[in-house]
Structure 1
Amino acid sequence: MLASIQDDPPILVCADLQVEYLTPGRRHVILDGDAATLRGLELLALWRTNLWPVMHLKRIAQAAWFNPASKLTDWIVEAKPKPGEMTFEHPLPSAYSSARFVDYMSNIRNVRCVVIGFSLDETILATAVDGFHRSHRYQVVADAVACRQPGTGEAAAYKQSVVNVIGNFATIQSSAELIRASGAVAV
Structure 2
Amino acid sequence: MLASIHDDPPILVCADLQVEYLTPGRRHVILDGDAVTSRCLELLTLWRGNLWPVMHLKRIAQAAWFNPASRLTDWIAATKPRPGELTFEHPLPSAYSSSRFVDYMSNIRTVRCILIGFSLDETILATVAEGFHRSHRYQVVADAVACRQPGTGDAAAYKHAVVNVIGNFATIQPSAELLGTSGAVAV
CA distance in 2, matches of 1:179, 1:185: 10
SS in 1 for 2:172: strand
- Quote the offset at 1:182 in angstroms: 2.7
Identity of aligned residues (%): 86
- CA RMSD in angstroms, aligned pairs only: 0.6
Q: Which residue of 1 aligns with 2:59?
A: 59
Q: Where do residues 93-132 of structure 1 align in structure 2 (5 Å cutoff)?
A: 93-132=93-132
Unaligned runs of at least 5 residues, structure 1: none
What is the aligned residue count? 187
Cα deviation per residue 1:57-102 (whole Å; 9 max; x = unaligned)? 0000000000000000000000000000000000000000000000
Q: Which residue of 2 aligns with 1:68?
A: 68
- Quote the offset at 1:178 in angstroms: 1.5
Aligned residue type for 2:186: A
Q: Which residue of 2 aligns with 1:176?
A: 176
Please give the TM-score of this superposition, normalised by the length of structure 1: 0.99
Q: Which residue of 2 aligns with 1:161?
A: 161
- Quote the offset at 1:28 in angstroms: 1.2
Aligned structure 1 segments of 4 or more residues deviating by more than 4 angstroms: none
CA distance in 1, matches of 2:181, 2:147: 26
CA distance in 2, matches of 1:100, 1:28: 27
Please give the TM-score of this superposition, normalised by the length of structure 2: 0.99
Aligned residue type for 2:34: D
CA distance in 2, matches of 1:111, 1:99: 17
- Quote the offset at 1:177 in angstroms: 1.4
- Quote the offset at 1:181 in angstroms: 5.4
Q: Which residue of 2 aligns with 1:185?
A: 185
- 1:47 maps onto 2:66 in alignment: no
SS in 2 for 1:121: helix
- Quote the offset at 1:19 in angstroms: 0.0
Unaligned runs of at least 5 residues, structure 2: none
Aligned residue type for 2:55: M
SS in 2 for 1:36: helix
CA distance in 2, matches of 1:102, 1:46: 26
- Quote the offset at 1:183 in angstroms: 1.4
CA distance in 2, matches of 1:181, 1:69: 43
